[in-house]
Structure 1
């Protein structure tokens, strides 16, 4: 099989951090727009913060500093784009435990270039000795070929002020691992799958992590800062949810991996399908009640589904998608108001929930959201 690469022009991570950081502002100033483009007296600029739970981002030469290698990954024809979102968002969430938002400023990865990550994700060969995936053994049979284990790699940098300048103070590396490797026996031919056991995925992941740590330690500025390596299990292409991080290791110094810790993170789709069982029956019942009540009052719905994220089998957040066949603004407004009422009544409390209402053509018609601790939903209808 030919190795194929894709440098995805993904804007997910950039959008996430810019949205989370709020108004552009200099470090040490207020969030007022008049100060947004002023140079900080500390010698650097950040995006500012509107919420202590999110990082400030780095501005360099008047522009947000983007990643040098964001989204580089091996293309697998029907790639599940939800994997990319879950990977980037989850990596930031785990980093907050090691690099608190009150003490660190976020900088998108600047140490690993696009070319470097592309080589690392390739198969090891004479032409590519740095490849983390095994060499092609020439086999085409699913059980005999050497599969691609390492699917994606992402770097995040965490900065602190030193002598009026931002200095690299920590690094997080995310490594995405496959449970299914999709391949073709011939170019433009049918798609086949090599299944990878959980045990083999974990084993190969530890090997890749150990090698990545050694290589990153040799990079400029990374020799003596804490490095957190987070392991991610890719969801299959046909999954309605993205994958989940399953373990992480923190190394304060040196190039030997620290003790591995389980994350106990899981993702699930609601309602449960024939191929996915509910993680928590109470959450399943609550969502079914919300879904049934909503559909009984408004029958012109094409679908009501949700992506649920868990930690230790406890629901952490819920992302609901509703597809309608409404066309008039009055219908959409009435429906949005009803959804807010039903969500408050039936969906679990105490967690952040967002609900996106789309038309059958994919156009977003309305958006509802509730933050942790709030009881009511913010709503917005996108009028034409």
Structure 2
């Protein structure tokens, strides 16, 4: 067995795909890269979206353990797509570690399942359907492509790759949920099964790795059952399925730091599966990951009575950024989320104090003061 790789930032940067960055990632951004991967990769068009954009599939490896992953089911959730591109770079470099993995596993990857939503930077497809709520009826062509690929590839594992909002924290503490995981439920009672337990153990392995890089910033997503969600549907068919949620890292609104941690998680998961290390990780380690909570705002304004006379002394105002597509760039527009709560109730990725002159200058520069007024 190949010794497990110990990742660091410098090593990761050898594989980071620098041609694709930021939040706006579409077929046009990845087309040339996919077509230059090399002969060891099999690139296919698995089908087309509502607006006839190609849905690409990439296959690599010749091992018996089959892993199926897909990203940008929600078009505006691109962080995991960037991490997948980094993973492809790692696999094509021909290192001893990459070759050892590819002897053990076969990967099938859909980098952008919802290319119309990616182009428009929306969660939904062009028919305004959430593809992650279309697992049973499969009314949309993108849903049919996903299901057909699942049935033909017959995976042993599924990775459902998403982004989550900046509002999520870990448990009850002031730590952003930079990465969250879930082994989805397969029934209303959230029972366990052999396949779900396997997924939980792979999550535990990834958590162990990520704690080295972002301690206390890994969360566990809510496991409420919904058979219309793809992860739940595949779990119902006894295929171990894992939900990945790429979240906020400090001052990383472009999510170009979070992609690094998703890359580490993907590598760890593939390694754990490839070398049959799953049972090294007890189920208790999965349940020891704190559940996500929703206690963060993008900006927390303290002593907000200075700028809003309707508030009491010491009251706070919270700001959330709305993501707007503008000339192929995502801009972050501040919006007021809540007013009139006390300090300590919520957390802020940025905290400003209206009694501080420099903080007031920042609020003015961001046009937040006039927004409040």
Global fold match (TM > 0.5): no
Bigger helix share: 2
The alignment's TM-score, normalised by the length of structure 2, stands at 0.28
Report the structure number with the largest CA radius of gyration: 1
Considering Cα pairs closer than 8 Å and 6+ residues apart, tell me whether 1 or 2 has the greater RCO: 2
Bigger strand share: 1
The alignment's TM-score, normalised by the length of structure 1, stands at 0.28
